[in-house]
């Protein structure tokens, strides 16, 4: 594995900007192609977990999704365990389903169970297909004790391959929150088209997906989605990186990563949506001095956070 330094990152970020990998007309939301998937995704995506929380009204979700999609946000992520998220997104996307890249997940080690989860998500979301289904958090050894089983003929990946052949899903991917190396055997099957990792300027110095896994994604032209961009929520509170300085720094950092397509942000209301939309429209890559400052701040905060999502290896 090659060592990917801050200088390398800055050079690659600048090169990506010069290459024009971001497309945007004046006043619209910038888009990026999802790796080898022929879809121009908004560089801001919606993590819809909060929309599934208890007490959230369907009318609120309807208004939220309408404003998001009407403003150009076209990448929406959900999952079966996100409360009522899938159930509420179904009606909210009526009349707008063809405008979004809709993603859900499976989190089981058995082929039959994975196929059941896919069909159940289709039912809840009131759609005939999912644009992508992700094998959820392959770093978890309690969920996937043996990573070889995930890619076995009777494992999770086989169910997704079959679902793709049947037209139930269009693309296959994975997520990883911890233990970055566990993603590699799944990626190396050649079936993975989209990956979602915990990425922010702090966890770069904890889990290091940027140098441990993203180079393999770039090699294979796999689209990368950033999650936990704002550090993830803390108990009884919002994200760890929501101050004005950290919010802007983390989004600019992840959008500047070579091969990064979408920054996924969990949002509860229209105020949070509008803040994120403004950040995407105003995005400028970090310059070298800013990257140096963000890197040093990230190192300091990483020492304070520690491996908050679980083991690194």
pLDDT of 63: 98
Q: Which residues contact 33 (CB under 8 A, 6 or more apart)?
A: 21, 39, 40, 41, 223, 261
Tens of pLDDT along 157-170? 999 999 999 999 99
If pLDDT is split at 50, 70 and 90, which confidence band does 7 have?
A: low
Tens of pLDDT along 67-111? 999 999 999 999 999 999 999 999 999 999 999 999 999 999 999
pLDDT (mean) for 129-134: 98
Cα torsion through 220, 225, 231, 236, rounded to 10: -140
Cα separations (Å) of 175 from 102, 132, 134, 225? 15, 12, 6, 9
Structural contact between residues 163 and 118, judged by C-beta atoms closer than 8 angstroms: yes
137 sits in the region (left: phi over 0; alpha: psi -120 to 50; else beta) called left
Q: What gap in Å lies between CA 298 and CA 254, rounded to an integer? A: 13
Structural contact between residues 78 and 124, judged by C-beta atoms closer than 8 angstroms: no
Tens of pLDDT along 198-213? 999 999 999 999 999 9
pLDDT of 238: 75
pLDDT of 173: 98
Please state the separation of Cα 58 from the chain's center in Å: 24
- Residue by residue, DSSP assigns 181-249 as GGHHHHHTTS---EEEEE--TTGGGTT-HHHHTHHHHHHTT-EEEEESTT--B-TTS-BTT-SHHHHHH
pLDDT of 233: 84
Please report the domains of the chain, with CATH numbers, ordered by start residue. 6-305 (3.20.20.100)
If pLDDT is split at 50, 70 and 90, which confidence band does 266 have?
A: very high
If pLDDT is split at 50, 70 and 90, which confidence band does 197 have?
A: very high
pLDDT of 18: 37
Tens of pLDDT along 8-57? 555 554 444 433 344 544 458 999 999 999 999 999 999 999 999 999 99
pLDDT of 180: 98
pLDDT of 10: 52
Angle, CA 49 vertex, CA 278 and CA 297 arms, to 5°? 55
> If you ran DSSP here, which 8-state letter would residue 130 be given?
B
Q: Looking at the predicted structure, is the pLDDT value of residue 1 above 90?
A: no
Q: What gap in Å lies between CA 124 and CA 87, rounded to an integer? A: 5
Cβ neighbours around 287 below 10 Å, total: 12
Tokens of 70: 């009407």
Closest of 228, 230, 234, 255 to residue 242, by C-alpha: 230
Tens of pLDDT along 214-263? 999 999 999 999 999 999 988 767 789 999 999 999 999 999 999 999 99
Residue 94 phi, psi dihedral angles, 5° rounding: -60, 130
pLDDT (mean) for 258-273: 97
């Amino acid at each position: 594995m090659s060592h990917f330094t801050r200088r390398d990152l800055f050079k690659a970020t600048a090169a990506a900007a010069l290459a024009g990998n971001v497309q945007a007309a004046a006043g619209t939301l910038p888009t990026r192609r999802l790796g080898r998937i022929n879809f121009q995704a908004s560089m801001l995506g919606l993590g819809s977990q909060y929309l599934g929380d208890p007490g959230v009204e369907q009318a609120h979700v309807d208004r939220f999704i309408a404003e998001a999609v009407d403003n150009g946000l076209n990448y929406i992520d959900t999952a079966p365990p996100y409360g009522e998220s899938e159930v509420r997104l179904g009606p909210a996307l009526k009349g707008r389903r063809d405008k979004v890249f809709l993603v859900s997940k499976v989190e089981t080690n058995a082929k039959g169970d994975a196929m059941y989860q896919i069909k159940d998500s289709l039912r809840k979301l009131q759609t005939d297909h999912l644009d992508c289904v992700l094998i959820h958090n392959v770093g978890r050894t309690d969920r996937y004790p043996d990573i070889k089983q995930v890619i076995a003929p009777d494992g999770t990946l086989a169910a997704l391959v079959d679902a793709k052949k049947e037209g139930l899903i269009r693309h296959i991917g994975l997520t990883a929150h911890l233990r970055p190396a566990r993603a590699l055997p799944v990626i190396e099957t050649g079936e993975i088209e989209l990956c979602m990792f915990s990425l922010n300027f702090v966890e770069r110095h904890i889990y290091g997906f940027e140098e441990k896994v993203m180079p393999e994604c770039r090699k294979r032209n796999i689209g990368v989605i950033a999650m936990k961009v704002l550090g993830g929520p803390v108990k009884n509170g919002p994200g760890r990186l929501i101050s004005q300085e950290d919010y802007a720094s983390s989004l600019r950092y992840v959008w500047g990563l070579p091969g990064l397509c979408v920054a996924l942000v969990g949002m509860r209301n229209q105020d949070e949506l509008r803040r994120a939309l403004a950040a995407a429209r105003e995005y400028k890559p970090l310059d070298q001095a800013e990257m140096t400052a963000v890197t040093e701040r990230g190192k300091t905060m990483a020492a304070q956070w520690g491996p908050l999502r679980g083991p690194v290896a």
